[in-house]
Structures are given as structure tokens and as C-alpha cells.
Amino acid sequence: MTKCFRSHVTLGAALLLAGAMSFAQDGAATYKAKCAMCHGPAGTPSAGMQKAMGIKPVSDPSMRTLTESQIAATVKNGQGKMKPVTGLTDAQVKDVAAYFKTLK
Ligand code: HEC
């Protein structure tokens, strides 16, 4: 997997355009648009979210061990309190799963 994510420049714009699917092409943009509101801007959910919904930060050991395909499956099928994330192509699911793995 290439580590070539042009993340930070496009993040602000991605937030503004959250929901504009044609824009959310790379993993970082998809993450901002579809995951960050629950999982936090860098993979650490707010304390409230962690408590209310039981979302773990990406630094948690159980998150660290997830494989890219497990993450992709969670995005597509949901898991526990997380509903399936809709409106993504297979390529976008793959990209966002790969991006999720890069979060520390
Ligand atoms: C509406 C809030 C919400 C959104 C949006 C959301 N998640 Fe989650 N996510 C959760 C919650 C809640 C959990 C904890 C699920 C549980 O175990 O009950 C979770 C858990 C996870 C897990 C851990 C699953 C496991 O096997 O333990 C991964 C990976 C994950 N989310 C990735 C993503 C990605 C990638 C996106 C964006 C495409 C995303 N989530 C969008 C709420 C959300």
C-alpha cells in the first residue's frame, strides 16, 4: 500500500464538502467526510463519544490489530453500535480502511 496520502491540504475542504461523494476520492477525504464525526479528526474520538458510544481510539490495542480487510468489513457491514457506512464505492472503502490503518 502506498503511503502517498495527500491529506492535510484537502482536509478543510473535505469537511466543507462532506457528503459530496464525487469529491471524497482518497482515503483521507473519505475519512473526514464519513468517519471523523464519530472517530475524531485523527482517530481519537472525543471523550463523550468514547463514553456514549463505546468507540475506541485507534491507539487502543484492539484497534491496532485490525487488518485492513476487517476495517473494510466494518465499514460495509457495520459492527455493534456502528451502522454500515453507506454511499461509498468499494475502492473508497478500501482507501479509507488503508487510511484508518495509518492513523496513530
Ligand atoms: C455514527 C458514528 C460512526 C461513524 C460515522 C463511523 N463509525 Fe466506526 N465505530 C462507531 C462505533 C460506535 C464503533 C464501536 C462499535 C462497537 O463495537 O459497538 C465503531 C467501531 C469502528 C471500528 C472497530 C471495529 C472493530 O472490529 O472493533 C472501526 C475499524 C471503525 N469503526 C471504522 C470506521 C470507519 C473507517 C468509518 C468511516 C468510513 C467509521 N468507522 C464511521 C461509530 C461510527
17 within a domain of the structure (yes/no): yes
3-state DSSP helix/strand/coil % of the chain, to nearest 5: 55, 0, 45
Question: Is the CB of residue 81 less than 8 Å from the CB of residue 9?
Answer: no
C-alpha cell at 43: 482517530
Owning domain of residue 63? 8-102
Q: What total of structural domains would you count in the chain?
A: 1
The CA 50 to ligand 1 mean position distance, Å, reads: 11
Residue 12, amino acid: G
Per-residue confidence of the chain (104 residues) as pLDDT tens digits?
555 566 666 666 555 555 444 444 589 999 999 999 999 999 999 999 999 999 999 999 999 999 999 999 999 999 999 999 999 999 999 999 999 999 99
Pocket test for ligand 1, best of 21, 55, 76 (most atoms within 8 A of CB): 55
Q: Is residue 30 part of a domain?
A: yes
pLDDT of amino acid 69: 97
Determine, yes or no, domain membership for 2: no
Give the E-state strand segments of 47-91 in sequence order: none
In a domain, 16, yes or no: yes
pTM summary value: 0.82
Residue closest by Cα to atom 40 of ligand 1: 35
Give the per-residue pLDDT at 21.
46
Cα 102 to averaged position of ligand 1 atoms, centre (Å) = 16
CA distance 13 to 35: 15
Residue 3 lies in a domain: no
What is the Å distance from ligand 1's center to 49 Cα? 11
Q: What is the pLDDT of residue 20?
A: 46
Q: Which of 32, 76, 75, 80 lies closest to 54 in space, CA to CA?
A: 80
CA of 55 to the centre of ligand 1 (A): 7
**Number of the ligand 1 atom closest to the C-alpha atom of 100:** 35
